[in-house]
Amino acid sequence: MTSRQDPMDAEATGVVATWREAPAEVKAVIAGIFVNRLGGFLQVFLVLYLVQGGYDFVQAGIALGANGAGGIAGALLGGWLADRIGTRRAISGSMTLTAALTAAVLFVGSYPLLLVVVTALGAAGQVYRPASAEVVSAGIAPRRRVMVFAMYRLALNAGTTAAPLIGAVLASVSYPLLFWAEAAAALACAAIGWQALPRDTPRKTRPSGERLAPVGYLTVLRDARYLLFLLGMLAYAAIYISYVSVLPLAVRDAGLSTFVYGMLISLNGLIVIACELVVTRKVQHWPHRVAAVSGIVLVAAGVATYALPLGVAGFVVATLVWSLGETVGSPTMVAYPAQAAARSELVSRYMGASQAVFGAGTALGPAVGVALWSALNSMVWTLFGATGLLAAVAVAVGMRDDRGRRSSSSPREDLREQPERGESEQR
């Protein structure tokens, strides 16, 4: 893919055309993710629930960290399970177990058992993601992949944005209602996956009858360029997540109210939800490396701008810049692992590795960011900006050139691509 596209081809990869031509299983996965994230209250309210239940803040914080650590492991496990038992079973099983464990939190009587349950819950709640990403990737033609992953992110972000508001209403009634509602949302996602996704088929042979070689995460670890891409993703995630940890401290130390911080977070959510599909309509035609690096550089520039003593205006401008960077680069970076995988049966492993690394960055970033803030104060933003530039270099070197090569296409994708070309020529 090059940055120059035929106008008719650009029309064929628009938002409406991509959604209309996406198969039912891709639409089902996107709808399921929205339902699941709409009920994703646990991480937001877990600390408050535990403190209200008699645990101290340290114990509640450790439980939340255990839940996050479980999520990292779950992303890796999800890539393995998608290969072993199939995407339909992985998605539905993950969400069913998530529902059971969410409800179980209400009945746990000891702290050690609570840590086990919330860790397992974190893992179960992330197992579905590599499998879901594989379904989306395999079900759509390569040239539409970035756009459909922008839709995937829209469902994720819209549900995540609405969930705290719904959760606050439910929590005001009762905390148990909050947990039962999240369990119900997970079960709904499981039902959507089981009903809409095609029956899983064994992966021991290719359609041609050729026996597949065993695959695993060792294959990913031997891909040196992809590891460099993952390293860049880790650093990028760590500075990106600073908006939940360091930014509120910066707003407070600038003498501004909590309302300003809330406004900045709302601004980011508004830009991503309202603008990402529009931006992706253009960016999907850029070389993947250019899109990813441009997004990371904009995020780095945005967080570095927080170091300037410009008051509320400076905070707003900085947030606009890094939010734009998120819309420019994130859909491509989420879609890229499917291209990096040398064979279609490796897609779930590459997806699982990228999601686990991003999860690790977002888990480590807040703790590291707060520690650096306490030592460097506002200079931390300059350090974050420099780290972002290093991440952009790593991603630029790690991503393969997408010109003249196909993204680990499956035989199904090859069949889908031909009629699309014919259709494009007829328009």
Half-sphere exposure of 176 (CA within 13 A, CB side): 4
**3: pLDDT strictly greater than 60:** no
pLDDT score for 214: 54
Per DSSP, what are the bridge partners of residue 211?
A: 205
pLDDT score for 426: 33
pLDDT score for 406: 41
- Record the pTM: 0.82
Distance CA 91, CA 83 (A): 12
Question: 392: which 2 tokens?
Answer: 């952009």
| Average pLDDT over every residue of 22-35 | 90
Which of 212-216, 255-259, 306-310 has the least mean pLDDT? Answer: 212-216
pLDDT score for 380: 95
pLDDT, one tens digit per residue, over 106-153 is 999 899 999 999 999 999 988 988 889 889 888 888 888 899 999 999
Residue 300 banded pLDDT, cuts 50, 70, 90: very high
pLDDT score for 13: 66
Per DSSP, what are the bridge partners of residue 266?
A: none
Residues 353-382 as b/e (b if ≥16 CB within 10 A, e otherwise) read bbbbbbbbbbbbbbebbeebbeeeebebbe
Of 57 and 187, which is predicted with more confidence?
187
**408: pLDDT strictly greater than 90:** no
Burial class (CB in 10 A: 0-12, 13-18, 19+), 175: buried
Compute CA distances 355 → 80, 108, 126, 187, whole Å.
13, 29, 9, 23
pLDDT score for 6: 41
**Whether 150 contacts 333, CB under 8 Å:** no
**Whether 72 contacts 359, CB under 8 Å:** yes
Distance CA 388, CA 303 (A): 9
pLDDT score for 402: 56
Chain-wide mean pLDDT for the chain?
84
**Whether 394 contacts 310, CB under 8 Å:** no
CB atoms under 10 Å from CB of 225, counted, come to 12
pLDDT, one tens digit per residue, over 88-104 is 999 999 999 999 999 99
What 3-state class would DSSP assign to 211? strand
**Whether 410 contacts 341, CB under 8 Å:** no
| pLDDT > 70 in the chain, percent | 87
